[in-house]
Structure 1
Amino acid sequence: MKLSVVIPAYNEEESIGETLHALHAQLVAEQIDHEIVVTNDNSKDNTLSRLQALTREIPTLTFYTNPGPNGFGYAVRYGLERYQGDCVAVMMADLSDDPADLVRYYRKLQEGYDCVFGSRWIKGGRVIDYPGPKKYINRLANTIVKVLFRLRYNDCTNAFKLYRRGTMEGLKPFLSPHFNLTLELPLKAIVRGYSYAVIPNSWTNRQYGESKLKIKEMGSRYFFIMIYCLIEKYFSQGDFRKRETGSSAAAPGPRG
């Protein structure tokens, strides 16, 4: 099973090299067939030139430049239309996500699940240098999602997740142009009946640059996608649900 890793990058010249080298080294050490797909989201710094150099150092790296429209969601979607693997993970360019966790996701997916979601907020999960205000908003938002959708899962808004190709195709069309894509993908997967496992993962605050998430700008966008998925859950009559083609290796719902 070939693993694709889609990474959006905007002004990440300081961190992109360390991120990609660490990711590539981990996947090679685990003998995982893979590709790394980076979308340069029209960066204004030297991210493009760094990527050009890195392709000579990392044989599994491919990159594209998103001509626009730009934004986190658009950049991820650009990569999701171009990856070649049998499954795909979304990771960040700032090394906040641990490549060792990706290996664990991949091994779990091989048990037959449609998706693997991490949680930083369950036993075994870990956060390092998480900003206090951001943590408060994160936990509030995820609690609201848990209550409205009647979930046990508590980390929907984290982008770092793994999906089978067939699952990702089943989540289209994508609606979110910005960070609300991180909520759209797992909620659609859950609402549409795809099976998922939840395992602990870690998160480390970036060492270089600044976060691209602007919380004040994102509230209404997260609310929109949450309401959209809620309407689909209760009023679509199952029109978008996963179509079973035979016996399923894993029943819909979370497994740890």
Structure 2
Amino acid sequence: MKLSIVIPAFNEAQNLPETIHAFYMALRENRIEHEILIVNDNSTDDTEAVIQHLQQEIPTLHTVFNNPPKNGFGYAIRKGLEHFTGDCVVLVMADMSDSPADLVRYYQTFVALQVDCVFGNRFMVKGSVTRYPRKKLILNRVVNNLIALLFRIRYYDCTNAFKLYSKHTIEGLKPFLSPHFNITVELPLKAVVRGYTYAIVPNTWRGRKFGTSNLKIREMGSRYFFILLYCLIEKFFSRGDFKKKW
């Protein structure tokens, strides 16, 4: 069963080599068939040159897209989701905040339990976060607990992008609406609302070594609110029109 990895990258020249090598080695050691897709989101640093160099070293890094304007995290993710060829796909951050060992666990859980999605939870037993800015951590806990309450689910880490979806789930979540980081909420909430099955496993997260996060909280507030409202409307008023057909 083939796994696709979609990695959006905006000015990540310093972080990409460690990230790509680490994930490739973990997947190779566990004999997981895979492909790595990097979407260069119109970077202004040496990201493109770094990717070209990595392609010479990593045999499974065989598809790279340069995302034209309009740019944004969500647009880059959507570009990758249009072109992956695996049986399942996982979204991975370019800054090495996600763990290759966790990805292996996601994949093994997906295969063993035959669920539609695998979601990580950094805040459950055996999960952890490192170098998480305190203000962002507090906001994260407030937002994720509010989402769990509104949608009546027992999952408390919806906003993290690092999740795995089957190919048929991704097809069932279209069309995608989010152009920016709010796509991290759109994908799992649509999956839950539309009746796709999911498993929750602990995962780890660590703050980036180089550069600064491209997530601007003040800019994203209204965009997160929009997608939450959209998913709530679908949950309570769509009368099951978008539900997975079993």
The TM-score normalised by the length of structure 2 is: 0.99
1:220 Cα deviation after fit: 0.6
Where 1:27 maps in the other structure, the secondary structure is: helix
List 4+ stretches of structure 1 deviating above 4 A. Answer: none
Which residue in the other structure is 2:144 paired with? Answer: 142
1:159-191: CA deviations, max 9, x gaps? Answer: 000000000100000000000000000000000
1:233 Cα deviation after fit: 0.3
1:210-255: CA deviations, max 9, x gaps? Answer: 10000010011001000100000000010001011xxxxxxxxxxx
1:131-165: CA deviations, max 9, x gaps? Answer: 00000111111011011001110000000000000
Which residue in the other structure is 1:205 paired with? Answer: 207
RMSD (Å), alpha carbons? 0.5
1:69 Cα deviation after fit: 1.1
Which residue in the other structure is 1:249 paired with? Answer: none
1:68 Cα deviation after fit: 1.8
Task: For 1:69 and 1:164, locate their aligned partners in 2 and report how far apart those are by CA, in whole Å.
Answer: 27
Question: Which residue of the other structure, out of 159, 162, 183, is the alignment partner of 2:161?
Answer: 159
Task: For 2:180 and 2:205, locate their aligned partners in 1 and report how far apart those are by CA, in whole Å.
Answer: 20
More helix by share: 2
1:63 Cα deviation after fit: 1.1
Which residue in the other structure is 1:92 paired with? Answer: 93
Where 1:56 maps in the other structure, the secondary structure is: helix
Which residue in the other structure is 2:229 paired with? Answer: 227
Which residue in the other structure is 1:34 paired with? Answer: 34
1:74 Cα deviation after fit: 0.2
Where 2:57 maps in the other structure, the secondary structure is: coil
The TM-score normalised by the length of structure 1 is: 0.95
Which residue in the other structure is 2:243 paired with? Answer: 241
Which residue in the other structure is 2:175 paired with? Answer: 173
Give the share of equivalent positions with the same residue, in percent: 60
Q: How many residues align?
A: 244
Task: For 1:84 and 1:55, locate their aligned partners in 2 and report how far apart those are by CA, in whole Å.
Answer: 18
Task: For 2:104 and 2:241, locate their aligned partners in 1 and report how far apart those are by CA, in whole Å.
Answer: 34
Task: For 1:174 and 1:87, locate their aligned partners in 2 and report how far apart those are by CA, in whole Å.
Answer: 17
Where 2:201 maps in the other structure, the secondary structure is: strand
Task: For 1:98 and 1:177, locate their aligned partners in 2 and report how far apart those are by CA, in whole Å.
Answer: 25
Which runs of no fewer than 5 residues in structure 1 stay unpaired? 245-256
1:12-33: CA deviations, max 9, x gaps? Answer: 0000011000000000000000
Where 1:81 maps in the other structure, the secondary structure is: helix
